[in-house]
Structure 1
Amino acid sequence: MRIRAHHVRTAALSTGIAATLCVPLAVSVAAGAGNTVLISRGRPAVASSITGGEVAARANDASTVTRWASAAGPGTQWVRIDLGSAQRIDRVRLSWGSAYAKTYRLQVSGDGSNWTDLYSTRAGNGESDDLKRLNGTGRYLRVLATQRARTSGGYALSDVRVYGPASKALPAAAPATGSLASGLEDGRKKERAMQLISSAENSTLAWRRQFSYIEDIGDGRGYTAGIVGFTSGTSDMLAVVAEYTRRKPGNVLAKFLPALRAVNGSDSHAGLDPGFPAAWRAAAADPVFQRVQEDARDTYYFKPALRFARGDGLRALGQFAYFDAAVMHGVSGMRAIRAAAMRTARTPAQGGDEPAYLNAFLNARVAEMRTEEAHSDVTRVETAQRLFLRRSNLDLTAPLNWRVYGDAYRIAS
């Protein structure tokens, strides 16, 4: 790595997201005093997952008999209501049932990406929660459930009612896309992950321009090169060149295979200088070599990281945290960081709170980075991944804004 009350139609979107497609009206249902009214009924709703036909829209329809129900299993789930425009939120009433959240957060957002807690509890009891004097403002309201009360099933909410000042009729919102709740298996999320890594590895979001990158960064691993920093000292560069030669015999890098085998496990350039860097850059123009690099990235880092992250019940942010750790420390290093985190926090799959576990993982990652001078700048964690966690952006939903090594970056969509 480099150092630096109207007609409603419901539909199930891809990746298990339940959505409401509607043309909403202002609903004037008194909430108690003054001009406070119900502002959430019939607004577009999406959820992280659903069970059967119990879609997100059932949490904010006119009935307390219907409900939204998530997929079964431990971990984090959410239901989100789009209020149409920035609204002041004074009060929220939640009606749970037997499938309730022991730990949950009530959150508000202006962009559906960055969230602020209005209320949180670790002592949910499954009753109706009438949360008053909230004094929040945002377009989106979300219930983020992170720990189940029961050992089986998922979460269910029969009613979510949001109250605020009386306002004019709100515009219809654009339908949510299927990428909201997806993990890094979604091509758009994977692209964001690669842009995030490239911002730290190469000081640019244009990761596809890094096929030709090569230099010795002085970290004891010899040459570092390519889209995720393959190194001559840790066998993955050797594997890349060997596979390239298998697919395209006689390529410009093939003659360096004996030298790569000899320097593997060291920081030596013996047999590689002076021609290897130039040959690597020349090969990078070949689509076959580019494909080899992408396949090696997936085989050695991306797929193993996702396998562990999914097994631990992590959403897209946690999947990315594992992937980024694997790129820098190798999969064995990522597993060691994971083991250190699990000594202080349970994973979602173990019934733990996802934000708490991810915080523990990032703590362990920072501690490991600081054991090497070349990796002692931990901003790729603290002003990127930790920032997303503090904003509760567990799904890596755009827009994303972060800083690495003093440089600012943004992914708008």
Structure 2
Amino acid sequence: MPQRPAKRLSLTALAGVTLVLPALALGGTSAASAAAPAVGSGLSARIQAAAPGLDDPHKKDIAMQLVCSAENSSLEWRKYFAYIEPYDDGRGYTGGIVGFTSRTGDMLELVENYTKAKPGNPLAAYLPALRKANGSDSHSGLGKPFEEAWRKAAQDKAFQDAQEALRDRMYFNPAVKQAKDDGLRTLGQFIYYDAIVMHGPGNDSDSFGGIRKSALAKAKPPSQGGDEKAYLNAFLDARKKVMKKEEAHSDTSRVDTAQRVFLNDGNFDLEPPLKWKVYGDSYRIDK
């Protein structure tokens, strides 16, 4: 049996939750991100102009489905506003559409942002406990009441909006901007995004910045006149090395039988139909 990662949804995690779905396919992408210019050689700029990037709403939805297949063995990413689980993986609680965690501070920031937008929400009472848990794997002061409050809050569009906004500011927008700066097309933008979601946006050797630095030591990106496929293969190689350091991420099928498949097919624009496997399970997006 292939090993599953830490971020898994229990059978009861979404019980009784009614989602308030946004009118648009996806929200929260800033105008600055959507309008970010292609940087690099004239050739890479013309290539990027020929097809929508990952910040196109439909492409962004595809990206969310791809990540959800790896994180939760599902394509229905909007169900995971309500996702909340305590794990013994060193991250404390993991919850929401990109796995915000109580240890790394993004869960605390999410609840703080939500409380600013909507004081008196079901999670506001847990801010002191989340502040104490920040930087540790502690579940103290949280537990089942916190989990119930999270699932209740997930019915509120304001909490859904807060999750999408933080996802975009902390993960999606920086990944897409850096990929465009490196002259990468939609697939490369997704490869960056998936990496930053799992490894975080830092610059240490095991974070996104460190993985990119390792790739740059092996190959040049298109913005520096390099071959796009060779550079992305170098990036995926570097990411796999980091994944294998941690037991929870040691299954690298999200790279081997998903992203590398698209890359080997030359699908740089991430155009459906898309077929891939994660942990042995097969998925497809037809349009």
| TM class, shorter-length | 0.7 to 0.9
**Which residue among 243, 246, 250 is the counterpart of 2:116?**
246
In 2: Cα distance, 1:72 partner to 1:220 partner: 43
Instruction: Tell me what 1:212 maps to.
Output: 82
Instruction: Tell me what 1:135 maps to.
Output: none
- Partners of 2:69 and 2:278 within 8 A in 1: yes
Say which SS state the counterpart of residue 401 (structure 1) adopts. Answer: strand
Say which SS state the counterpart of residue 331 (structure 1) adopts. Answer: coil
Superposed counterparts of 1:154-165, under 5 Å: none
Instruction: Tell me what 1:390 maps to.
Output: 264
Instruction: Tell me what 2:211 maps to.
Output: 337
Is 1:314 matched up with 2:184? Answer: yes
Is 1:192 matched up with 2:62? Answer: yes
Per-residue Cα deviation, 1:7-37 (whole angstroms, up to 9, x for no partner) = xxxxxxxxxxxxxxxxxxxxxxxxxxxxxxx
**Which residue among 222, 238, 255 is the counterpart of 1:381?**
255
Instruction: Tell me what 1:75 maps to.
Output: 44
**TM (normalized to structure 1)?**
0.58
Q: Residue type of the partner of 2:62?
A: R
Per-residue Cα deviation, 1:353-403 (whole angstroms, up to 9, x for no partner) = 000000000000111111100100111111100010010001100000001
Instruction: Tell me what 1:402 maps to.
Output: 276
**TM (normalized to structure 2)?**
0.83
Instruction: Tell me what 2:146 maps to.
Output: 276
Q: Residue 217 of structure 1: CA displacement?
A: 3.4
Per-residue Cα deviation, 1:117-165 (whole angstroms, up to 9, x for no partner) = xxxxxxxxxxxxxxxxxxxxxxxxxxxxxxxxxxxxxxxxxxxxxxxxx
Say which SS state the counterpart of residue 283 (structure 2) adopts. Answer: strand
Q: Residue type of the partner of 1:215?
A: E
- Partners of 1:75 and 1:354 within 8 A in 2: no
Structure with larger RCO (C-alpha < 8 A, sep 6+):
2
Q: Residue 266 of structure 1: CA displacement?
A: 0.8
Q: Residue 274 of structure 1: CA displacement?
A: 3.2
Structure with the higher helix share, 1 or 2: 2
Instruction: Tell me what 1:257 maps to.
Output: 127
User: How many residue pairs were aligned?
Assistant: 247
In 2: Cα distance, 1:292 partner to 1:187 partner: 18
In 1: Cα distance, 2:219 partner to 2:151 partner: 44
Structure with the higher strand share, 1 or 2: 1
Residues 312 and 294 of structure 1: is their aligned pair in 2 closer, same or farther, counting only changes over 3 Å?
Answer: same
- Partners of 1:215 and 1:225 within 8 A in 2: yes
Superposed counterparts of 1:4-43, under 5 Å: none
Per-residue Cα deviation, 1:248-271 (whole angstroms, up to 9, x for no partner) = 000110000011010101111011
Residues 76 and 245 of structure 1: is their aligned pair in 2 closer, same or farther, counting only changes over 3 Å?
Answer: closer
In 1: Cα distance, 2:199 partner to 2:71 partner: 13
In 1: Cα distance, 2:156 partner to 2:282 partner: 32
In 1: Cα distance, 2:268 partner to 2:57 partner: 17
Instruction: Tell me what 2:103 maps to.
Output: 233
Question: Of the two, which has the highest radius of gyration?
Answer: 1
Gaps of 5+ in 2: 1-5, 10-39
Per-residue Cα deviation, 1:39-73 (whole angstroms, up to 9, x for no partner) = xxxxxxxxxxxxxxxxxxxxxxxxxxxxxxxx961
**Which residue among 92, 96, 120 is the counterpart of 1:222?**
92
Identity of paired residues, percent?
Answer: 57
Instruction: Tell me what 2:226 maps to.
Output: 352
Superposed counterparts of 1:128-167, under 5 Å: none
